[in-house]
Amino acid sequence: MAASPQQDDFVIRVRGLETRFGENSVHQNLDLDVRRGEVIGIVGASGTGKSVLLKAVIGLIRPAAGSIVVLGHDTARLGERDRRALQQRCGVLFQDGALFSSMTVAENVRLPLTEHTMLAPALIDEIARVKIGMVGLDAEAAPKFPAELSGGMRKRAGLARALALDPEILFLDEPTAGLDPIAATAFDQLIGDLRHGLGLTVFMVTHDLDSLAAICDRIAVVIDKRIMMGTLDSLRAESHPWLRSYFNGPRGRAAAVAG
Protein backbone atom coordinates (compact mmCIF):
# COMPACT_ATOMS: atom_id res chain seq x y z
CA MET A 1 0.00 0.00 0.00
CA ALA A 2 1.02 3.58 -0.59
CA ALA A 3 2.27 5.76 2.21
CA SER A 4 -0.51 7.29 4.27
CA PRO A 5 -1.75 10.68 3.04
CA GLN A 6 -1.36 13.75 5.22
CA GLN A 7 -3.79 13.45 8.10
CA ASP A 8 -5.23 16.93 7.56
CA ASP A 9 -5.84 16.39 3.82
CA PHE A 10 -9.47 15.25 3.93
CA VAL A 11 -11.62 14.92 0.83
CA ILE A 12 -14.71 13.82 2.78
CA ARG A 13 -15.69 15.11 6.22
CA VAL A 14 -18.95 14.00 7.83
CA ARG A 15 -20.02 15.49 11.14
CA GLY A 16 -23.06 14.69 13.30
CA LEU A 17 -24.82 12.82 10.50
CA GLU A 18 -28.33 11.60 11.16
CA THR A 19 -30.31 9.74 8.50
CA ARG A 20 -33.88 8.62 9.00
CA PHE A 21 -36.60 6.75 7.16
CA GLY A 22 -39.83 7.71 8.84
CA GLU A 23 -39.42 6.89 12.52
CA ASN A 24 -36.45 4.63 11.84
CA SER A 25 -33.10 6.25 12.61
CA VAL A 26 -30.27 4.66 10.63
CA HIS A 27 -27.35 6.89 11.73
CA GLN A 28 -27.08 9.15 14.75
CA ASN A 29 -24.29 11.67 15.37
CA LEU A 30 -22.04 9.85 12.89
CA ASP A 31 -18.60 11.32 12.13
CA LEU A 32 -16.27 10.20 9.34
CA ASP A 33 -13.10 11.54 7.72
CA VAL A 34 -11.68 10.21 4.45
CA ARG A 35 -8.13 11.20 3.49
CA ARG A 36 -7.00 12.04 -0.01
CA GLY A 37 -5.50 9.05 -1.80
CA GLU A 38 -6.62 6.33 0.60
CA VAL A 39 -8.84 3.31 0.12
CA ILE A 40 -11.35 3.17 2.94
CA GLY A 41 -13.60 0.17 3.46
CA ILE A 42 -17.09 0.67 4.94
CA VAL A 43 -18.39 -2.44 6.70
CA GLY A 44 -21.14 -3.35 9.13
CA ALA A 45 -23.89 -5.82 9.81
CA SER A 46 -26.87 -6.05 7.46
CA GLY A 47 -29.25 -3.15 7.98
CA THR A 48 -26.71 -0.81 9.58
CA GLY A 49 -26.87 1.64 6.68
CA LYS A 50 -23.58 1.18 4.83
CA SER A 51 -25.08 1.91 1.42
CA VAL A 52 -27.28 4.60 2.96
CA LEU A 53 -24.11 6.34 4.14
CA LEU A 54 -22.64 6.19 0.63
CA LYS A 55 -25.82 7.60 -0.88
CA ALA A 56 -25.89 10.41 1.69
CA VAL A 57 -22.29 11.37 0.89
CA ILE A 58 -22.90 11.47 -2.87
CA GLY A 59 -26.14 13.42 -2.43
CA LEU A 60 -28.77 10.82 -3.29
CA ILE A 61 -30.21 10.95 0.24
CA ARG A 62 -30.77 14.13 2.22
CA PRO A 63 -29.76 13.63 5.87
CA ALA A 64 -32.02 14.70 8.70
CA ALA A 65 -29.13 16.44 10.46
CA GLY A 66 -25.39 16.96 10.30
CA SER A 67 -22.99 18.15 7.62
CA ILE A 68 -21.22 16.49 4.70
CA VAL A 69 -18.25 18.23 3.10
CA VAL A 70 -16.88 16.69 -0.11
CA LEU A 71 -13.78 18.13 -1.78
CA GLY A 72 -14.16 21.27 0.30
CA HIS A 73 -17.85 21.83 -0.50
CA ASP A 74 -20.66 21.64 2.04
CA THR A 75 -23.14 19.58 0.02
CA ALA A 76 -26.18 21.06 1.78
CA ARG A 77 -25.27 24.58 0.62
CA LEU A 78 -24.72 23.87 -3.06
CA GLY A 79 -26.99 25.13 -5.79
CA GLU A 80 -27.91 22.81 -8.62
CA ARG A 81 -25.10 23.95 -10.92
CA ASP A 82 -22.42 23.56 -8.25
CA ARG A 83 -23.88 20.23 -7.16
CA ARG A 84 -23.61 18.87 -10.68
CA ALA A 85 -20.04 20.15 -10.94
CA LEU A 86 -19.14 18.35 -7.71
CA GLN A 87 -20.81 15.15 -8.84
CA GLN A 88 -18.65 15.18 -11.97
CA ARG A 89 -15.60 14.94 -9.70
CA CYS A 90 -16.94 11.70 -8.21
CA GLY A 91 -17.40 8.34 -9.89
CA VAL A 92 -19.88 5.77 -8.59
CA LEU A 93 -20.14 2.04 -9.18
CA PHE A 94 -23.30 0.47 -7.81
CA GLN A 95 -23.89 -3.25 -7.42
CA ASP A 96 -23.87 -5.20 -10.69
CA GLY A 97 -22.72 -2.11 -12.55
CA ALA A 98 -26.18 -0.46 -12.85
CA LEU A 99 -25.72 -0.20 -16.61
CA PHE A 100 -28.49 0.91 -18.94
CA SER A 101 -29.69 -2.35 -20.44
CA SER A 102 -30.74 -0.79 -23.75
CA MET A 103 -27.26 0.65 -24.35
CA THR A 104 -24.04 -1.08 -25.36
CA VAL A 105 -21.00 -0.94 -23.11
CA ALA A 106 -19.49 1.81 -25.25
CA GLU A 107 -22.73 3.82 -25.19
CA ASN A 108 -22.91 3.48 -21.39
CA VAL A 109 -19.35 4.78 -21.02
CA ARG A 110 -19.91 7.61 -23.51
CA LEU A 111 -23.04 8.81 -21.71
CA PRO A 112 -21.39 10.90 -18.93
CA LEU A 113 -19.07 12.48 -21.49
CA THR A 114 -21.99 13.35 -23.76
CA GLU A 115 -24.05 14.80 -20.91
CA HIS A 116 -21.34 16.76 -19.10
CA THR A 117 -18.82 17.85 -21.71
CA MET A 118 -18.72 19.66 -25.05
CA LEU A 119 -16.13 17.30 -26.51
CA ALA A 120 -16.32 16.26 -30.13
CA PRO A 121 -18.00 12.89 -30.74
CA ALA A 122 -14.78 11.39 -32.14
CA LEU A 123 -12.88 12.34 -28.97
CA ILE A 124 -15.67 10.95 -26.79
CA ASP A 125 -15.44 7.67 -28.70
CA GLU A 126 -11.68 7.57 -28.13
CA ILE A 127 -11.99 8.31 -24.40
CA ALA A 128 -14.62 5.58 -24.04
CA ARG A 129 -12.31 3.13 -25.80
CA VAL A 130 -9.46 4.01 -23.44
CA LYS A 131 -11.64 3.69 -20.32
CA ILE A 132 -12.96 0.29 -21.44
CA GLY A 133 -9.42 -0.93 -21.91
CA MET A 134 -8.34 0.62 -18.61
CA VAL A 135 -10.65 -1.67 -16.65
CA GLY A 136 -9.40 -4.80 -18.37
CA LEU A 137 -12.12 -5.34 -20.95
CA ASP A 138 -11.28 -6.32 -24.52
CA ALA A 139 -12.38 -4.11 -27.39
CA GLU A 140 -14.89 -6.82 -28.31
CA ALA A 141 -16.90 -5.93 -25.19
CA ALA A 142 -17.64 -2.39 -26.39
CA PRO A 143 -20.53 -3.22 -28.79
CA LYS A 144 -22.12 -5.74 -26.42
CA PHE A 145 -25.20 -5.13 -24.28
CA PRO A 146 -25.11 -5.74 -20.51
CA ALA A 147 -27.19 -8.92 -20.83
CA GLU A 148 -24.43 -10.40 -22.99
CA LEU A 149 -21.77 -9.93 -20.29
CA SER A 150 -20.80 -11.96 -17.27
CA GLY A 151 -21.28 -10.45 -13.81
CA GLY A 152 -17.61 -9.57 -13.57
CA MET A 153 -17.61 -7.95 -16.99
CA ARG A 154 -20.68 -5.88 -16.10
CA LYS A 155 -18.91 -4.58 -13.01
CA ARG A 156 -15.88 -3.65 -15.07
CA ALA A 157 -18.06 -1.91 -17.65
CA GLY A 158 -19.78 0.00 -14.85
CA LEU A 159 -16.37 0.93 -13.50
CA ALA A 160 -15.34 2.24 -16.93
CA ARG A 161 -18.41 4.48 -16.92
CA ALA A 162 -17.62 5.65 -13.36
CA LEU A 163 -14.13 6.65 -14.54
CA ALA A 164 -15.31 8.40 -17.70
CA LEU A 165 -14.97 11.94 -16.30
CA ASP A 166 -11.63 11.31 -14.53
CA PRO A 167 -13.06 11.52 -10.99
CA GLU A 168 -11.04 12.34 -7.89
CA ILE A 169 -13.12 10.08 -5.64
CA LEU A 170 -14.40 6.65 -6.62
CA PHE A 171 -17.40 5.28 -4.70
CA LEU A 172 -17.94 1.52 -4.83
CA ASP A 173 -21.00 -0.27 -3.47
CA GLU A 174 -20.27 -3.97 -2.85
CA PRO A 175 -17.99 -4.23 -5.89
CA THR A 176 -17.10 -7.92 -5.44
CA ALA A 177 -20.59 -9.15 -4.47
CA GLY A 178 -21.62 -12.09 -6.62
CA LEU A 179 -18.14 -12.70 -8.02
CA ASP A 180 -16.27 -15.96 -7.64
CA PRO A 181 -13.03 -15.79 -5.60
CA ILE A 182 -10.80 -15.54 -8.69
CA ALA A 183 -12.84 -12.74 -10.25
CA ALA A 184 -13.11 -10.95 -6.89
CA THR A 185 -9.34 -11.08 -6.40
CA ALA A 186 -8.80 -9.75 -9.91
CA PHE A 187 -11.24 -6.89 -9.26
CA ASP A 188 -9.46 -6.00 -6.01
CA GLN A 189 -6.17 -5.90 -7.92
CA LEU A 190 -7.74 -3.68 -10.56
CA ILE A 191 -8.99 -1.20 -7.95
CA GLY A 192 -5.57 -1.15 -6.30
CA ASP A 193 -3.86 -0.52 -9.62
CA LEU A 194 -6.28 2.27 -10.56
CA ARG A 195 -5.88 3.88 -7.15
CA HIS A 196 -2.13 4.10 -7.61
CA GLY A 197 -2.17 4.89 -11.32
CA LEU A 198 -4.83 7.60 -11.19
CA GLY A 199 -4.30 8.95 -7.67
CA LEU A 200 -7.85 8.07 -6.69
CA THR A 201 -9.46 8.18 -3.29
CA VAL A 202 -11.67 5.08 -2.97
CA PHE A 203 -14.74 4.90 -0.71
CA MET A 204 -15.79 1.23 -0.76
CA VAL A 205 -18.82 -0.34 0.88
CA THR A 206 -18.11 -4.04 1.15
CA HIS A 207 -18.69 -7.21 3.13
CA ASP A 208 -15.64 -8.90 1.61
CA LEU A 209 -12.93 -9.49 4.20
CA ASP A 210 -10.44 -10.36 1.48
CA SER A 211 -10.94 -6.91 -0.07
CA LEU A 212 -10.39 -5.25 3.30
CA ALA A 213 -7.12 -7.12 3.74
CA ALA A 214 -5.93 -6.65 0.17
CA ILE A 215 -6.48 -2.98 -0.65
CA CYS A 216 -7.94 -0.97 2.26
CA ASP A 217 -5.77 1.44 4.25
CA ARG A 218 -8.42 1.91 6.93
CA ILE A 219 -11.78 0.37 7.81
CA ALA A 220 -14.86 2.27 8.97
CA VAL A 221 -17.35 0.04 10.78
CA VAL A 222 -20.94 1.26 10.92
CA ILE A 223 -21.96 0.04 14.35
CA ASP A 224 -24.50 1.28 16.89
CA LYS A 225 -25.47 3.96 14.31
CA ARG A 226 -22.00 5.51 14.36
CA ILE A 227 -18.53 4.84 12.94
CA MET A 228 -15.73 2.92 14.60
CA MET A 229 -12.50 3.46 12.67
CA GLY A 230 -9.44 1.27 12.59
CA THR A 231 -7.22 -1.13 10.70
CA LEU A 232 -7.80 -4.83 10.27
CA ASP A 233 -5.44 -5.57 13.17
CA SER A 234 -6.82 -2.94 15.54
CA LEU A 235 -10.45 -3.89 14.91
CA ARG A 236 -9.71 -7.58 15.48
CA ALA A 237 -8.56 -6.58 18.98
CA GLU A 238 -11.84 -4.81 19.86
CA SER A 239 -14.24 -6.37 22.37
CA HIS A 240 -17.55 -5.48 20.69
CA PRO A 241 -19.42 -8.78 20.03
CA TRP A 242 -20.12 -8.09 16.35
CA LEU A 243 -16.54 -7.02 15.70
CA ARG A 244 -15.20 -10.14 17.38
CA SER A 245 -17.53 -12.34 15.37
CA TYR A 246 -16.78 -10.61 12.07
CA PHE A 247 -13.04 -10.11 12.29
CA ASN A 248 -12.08 -13.13 14.41
CA GLY A 249 -14.23 -15.78 12.78
CA PRO A 250 -12.68 -18.32 10.37
CA ARG A 251 -13.01 -16.01 7.34
CA GLY A 252 -11.63 -13.04 9.24
CA ARG A 253 -8.60 -14.99 10.40
CA ALA A 254 -7.99 -16.29 6.88
CA ALA A 255 -8.21 -12.77 5.44
CA ALA A 256 -5.77 -11.45 8.03
CA VAL A 257 -3.26 -14.16 7.18
CA ALA A 258 -3.69 -13.61 3.43
CA GLY A 259 -3.33 -9.86 3.84
What does 45-71 look like in DSSP terms, one character per residue? Answer: STTS-HHHHHHHHTTSS--SEEEEEET
Closest CA to 200 of 38, 26, 35: 38
Count how many residues are written for the chain: 259
DSSP-based three-state secondary structure for 59: coil
Alpha-carbon span 35 to 200, nearest angstrom = 11
Closest CA to 221 of 242, 201, 191, 200: 242
The residues facing 204 across adjacent strands are 41, 172
What domains lie within the chain, and their CATH numbers?
A: 38-64+85-258 (3.40.50.300)
pLDDT string in tens for the chain (259-residue length): 444 444 458 999 999 999 999 989 999 999 999 999 999 999 999 999 999 999 999 999 999 999 999 999 999 999 999 999 999 999 999 877 789 999 999 999 999 999 999 999 999 999 999 999 999 999 999 999 999 999 999 999 999 999 999 999 999 999 999 999 999 999 999 999 999 999 999 999 999 999 999 999 999 999 999 999 999 999 999 989 999 999 886 555 455 545 5
Task: Give the type of residue at 150.
Answer: S
